[in-house]
């Protein structure tokens, strides 16, 4: 169940990256996509009636799988790092082109490359 929610969130994020033209919205959607993939990973470690895997002697009870949780910590930090840096570059682009419209920026960059010869 949670896995399905994760995949759907992933899909919504992807659609938003592809459809919305505003760069900041694209970054928010990227965050949503990553959150969806993280949810998928955590959901895989779930078991019915699982307990928190904090135990000295872990027997006779079903515990949730700790590996996806541990692994997801890295994924969350990486996601944060990516969004921070992407935001910095978006700020630089907005400073230069005074617009957050990705199509507009793409056209301007293309025109610059055609004229300037890309030194």
Contact set for other proteins, span 76-95 (CB under 8 A): 76-78, 80-82, 84-93
67: Cα within 13 Å, side-chain hemisphere? 2
Contact with other proteins (CB under 8 A) among 22, 24, 65, 100: 65
Closest approach, Cβ 49 to other proteins, in A, equals 14
Closest approach, Cβ 3 to other proteins, in A, equals 6
- Between residue 22 and residue 61, which ones bind other proteins under the rule CB under 8 A? 23, 26-27, 30, 33-34, 36-38, 40-41, 43-45, 47, 52-59
Question: Is the CB of residue 83 less than 8 Å from the CB of residue 33?
Answer: no
Closest approach, Cβ 19 to other proteins, in A, equals 5
The three-class DSSP label of residue 102 is: helix
Measure the CA–CA gap between 114 and 108, rounded to whole angstroms: 10
Rg (CA), the chain: 21
Determine phi and psi for 50, rounding to 5 degrees. Answer: -80, 150
Contact with other proteins (CB under 8 A) among 17, 24, 25, 28: 17
Contact with other proteins (CB under 8 A) among 22, 68, 99, 100: 68
Token pair recorded at residue 13: 């994020």
């Amino acid at each position: 169940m949670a896995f399905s929610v994760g995949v759907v969130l992933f899909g919504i994020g992807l659609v938003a990256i592809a459809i919305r033209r505003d760069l900041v919205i694209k970054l928010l959607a990227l965050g949503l996509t990553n959150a969806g993939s993280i949810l998928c990973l955590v959901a895989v470690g779930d078991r019915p009636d699982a307990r928190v895997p904090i135990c000295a002697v872990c027997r006779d009870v079903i515990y949730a799988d700790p590996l996806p949780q541990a692994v997801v910590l890295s994924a969350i930090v990486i996601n944060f790092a990516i969004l921070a840096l992407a935001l910095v570059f978006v700020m630089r682009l907005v400073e230069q082109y005074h617009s957050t419209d990705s199509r507009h920026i793409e056209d301007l960059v293309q025109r610059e490359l055609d004229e300037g010869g890309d030194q």
